[in-house]
């Protein structure tokens, strides 16, 4: 099996590296084409390819060629992102063969997520698959593999309790805010971005007592839609500095390729807070939770007094509390994932039978066609309608004769015994000789 996976995730690389190798959705089609196009006189790295890029992982899935090596894929990542390999190559992992199917099905099921059982990952896997389909880089193997992976994720969500508790990065972020600050009631919370992460954060903030929400988004209409659903205040992106002044907690989750909250933004906000709250005695503070990769908040913001910045990597302290409960149900989730892997592998094994079945069909069609022509020459008085009936009869007889050996070969291949049955069929029908004659004829 020539499946190959190259990638890195939250277990191998910190956010500082993941954000530099992350693929923006608009860049993925070009990257997919680079992976699947010939390079000079060299064949493409992959004949089929899908790129999965989330806040916690960057993974290249492909059907490999002879040029697909760990070095060639590391070089691709370096060249595409304009980086030196030495800064990230030690964080990469490489998986091949059946293990790729196990990895993807487990990933889609939430078993490899930072937040075990998170529901968002299945949507991210689906989006990656759809982008690759639109780019024309999905063939029969990855199409079948991703279908089984998506089925695994859907079954795990519906048939297990794995997603209970902090089952998303957004939920974990809100739990982190509660751990750091205690009750959220009366706290002013600023959400930056209006995507799924922000929506889940809004739901969980309200469920945890927060009642003063602001939403800043580059597209005001989108921000207003989200704000209207959750009783929040929608602000334009130009109002971000003034919103920071009012915020006790900031949760940011945009898809911006560069930081959007800088040192000066927060420094000015903290200064304004100090001036308006000097009568309260206690110095102002602000908790900023950056759930974006690449990060939305510049790294030097954390140097400001009274400012606490957390990234997705800091969610480990929250996630740790949910693992004990989920360990009890993860075995069932793993069994579901493994069942979908076995279904995919069974399909892959049937593909070993395709060449023999094709040869058998071609041989049978050749015999049918030649015998039909001979018969029709002798039956020259037949009407066109009668000729159609005779031809249909010949096709029906051939199909019925081939049905049983075709079915038996496919079943045997699915059970791993396809090569033996294929050899028997090839020998019984002398297919190698028949094909050689057909090629000469």
Residues identified as active-site: 55
Buried b (16+ CB within 10 A) or exposed e, 211-228: ebbbbbbbebebbbebbe
């Amino acid at each position: 099996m020539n499946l190959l996976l190259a990638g890195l995730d939250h277990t191998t690389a910190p956010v500082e590296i993941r954000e530099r190798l992350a693929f923006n959705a608009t860049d993925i089609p070009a990257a997919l084409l680079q992976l699947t196009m010939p390079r000079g006189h060299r064949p493409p790295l992959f004949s089929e390819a899908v790129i999965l890029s989330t806040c916690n992982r960057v993974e290249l899935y492909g059907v490999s060629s002879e040029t697909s090596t760990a070095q060639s894929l590391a070089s691709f990542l370096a060249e595409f992102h304009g980086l030196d390999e030495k800064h990230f190559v030690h964080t990469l992992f490489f998986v091949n063969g059946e293990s790729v199917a196990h990895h993807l099905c487990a990933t889609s099921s939430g078993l490899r997520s930072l937040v075990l059982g998170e529901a968002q990952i299945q949507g991210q896997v689906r989006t990656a698959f759809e982008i690759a389909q639109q780019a024309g880089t999905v063939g029969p193997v990855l199409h079948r593999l991703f279908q089984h992976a998506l089925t695994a994720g859907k079954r795990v969500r519906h048939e297990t309790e794995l997603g209970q508790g902090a089952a998303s990065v957004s939920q974990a972020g809100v739990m982190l805010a509660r751990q750091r600050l205690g009750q959220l009631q009366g706290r002013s919370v600023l959400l930056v971005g209006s995507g799924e992460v922000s929506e889940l954060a809004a739901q969980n903030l309200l469920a945890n007592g927060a009642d003063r929400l602001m939403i800043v988004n580059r597209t005001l209409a989108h921000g207003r839609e989200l704000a209207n659903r959750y009783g929040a205040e929608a602000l334009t992106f130009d109002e971000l500095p003034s919103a920071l002044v009012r915020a006790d907690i900031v949760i940011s989750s945009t898809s911006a390729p560069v930081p959007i909250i800088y040192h000066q933004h927060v420094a000015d906000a903290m200064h304004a807070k100090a001036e308006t709250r000097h009568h309260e005695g206690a110095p102002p503070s602000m908790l900023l939770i950056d759930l974006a990769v690449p990060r939305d908040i510049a790294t030097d913001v954390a140097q400001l007094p009274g400012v606490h910045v957390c990234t997705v990597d800091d969610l480990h302290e929250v996630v740790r509390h949910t693992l004990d409960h989920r360990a009890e149900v993860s075995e069932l989730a793993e069994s579901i994932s493994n069942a979908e892997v076995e279904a995919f592998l069974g399909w892959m094994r049937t593909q070993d039978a395709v060449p023999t079945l094709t040869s058998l069909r071609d041989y049978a069609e050749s015999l049918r066609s030649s015998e039909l022509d001979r018969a029709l020459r002798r039956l020259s008085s037949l009407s066109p309608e009668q000729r159609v009936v005779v031809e249909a009869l010949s096709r029906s007889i051939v199909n019925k004769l081939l049905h049983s050996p075709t079915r038996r070969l496919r079943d045997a291949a699915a059970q791993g015994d396809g090569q033996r049955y294929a050899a028997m069929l090839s020998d019984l029908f002398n297919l190698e000789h028949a094909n050689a004659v057909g090629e000469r004829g």
